[in-house]
Amino acid sequence: MSHYLWELRPYFRQTAGQLVLGSIHGIIMNTAVVLPAILLGRAIDTALAMGQGNATGSEVALAALAFVGGTLATEVPRALKRWWLMTANARIRSNLRTDALRGVFAWPMEQVHRTPAGDLMARIIGDVEVLGVGVREFTIETWDTVLFSISLVVAMLIYDSTLTLMALLPVPLAFMLAHLSVRWVAQRTTAAREANSALTSAL
């Protein structure tokens, strides 16, 4: 189960165009993600300087336009990234359900009669949904978490490297804790899916 993403390669190939487009916009968004905060700070500083007589109205207007441009540079790619990656994920789940149902149709009739209908329903619908969550987290969070974090850390290091390193001290411990919880989460998920299958069969 730990290598399920590798086994899903055929489904990634079926949605390769959407995944590539979504990833490109994810890279753009999460590289520009630091711009709105930085440009807003500069716009506020410029407005304060104008109040003190150290800046002109045109400088304030330019700072405000820069902030709007930085926000658009982040939010437009965000919308396009979400569109392409979410539609790709929906297609992957649909293709998985189709292949699962096709596989059941290929079973010998004796096996079909021995298998509770509720169990099949739970697996084809519920298990694919759980798998789809994993695929969604892999395709979206790769950019939203990894690249987003890198962009923020780089910007923080430029502003104050000492404070940034102090703030990041607990991060390795958090990574270790997250890694240790993987097996526990997987066991709980498997138990929940098995219980759901039994409940659906009973109903």
Q: Tens digits of per-residue pLDDT, 1-29? A: 457 778 888 999 999 999 999 999 999 99
Would you state the structure tokens that stand for residue 131, as one six-digit string?
A: 């798998």
User: Residue 146 pLDDT > 80, yes or no?
Assistant: yes
- CATH classification of 4-202, choosing from 3.40.50.1820, 1.20.1560.10, 3.40.50.1370, 1.10.3720.10? 1.20.1560.10
Percent share of the chain, pLDDT over 70: 99
Name the pLDDT band for 94 (thresholds 50, 70, 90). Answer: very high
The full set of domain ranges for the chain reads 4-202
Structure tokens at 151: 């962009």
Q: Each residue of 27-69: pLDDT tens digit?
A: 999 889 999 999 999 999 999 999 898 989 899 999 999 999 9
Tell me the whole-structure pTM to 2 decimals.
0.74
Identify the pLDDT of residue 2.
52
pLDDT at 128 over 70: yes
Over range 178-202, report the average pLDDT.
81
**pLDDT value of position 46:** 95
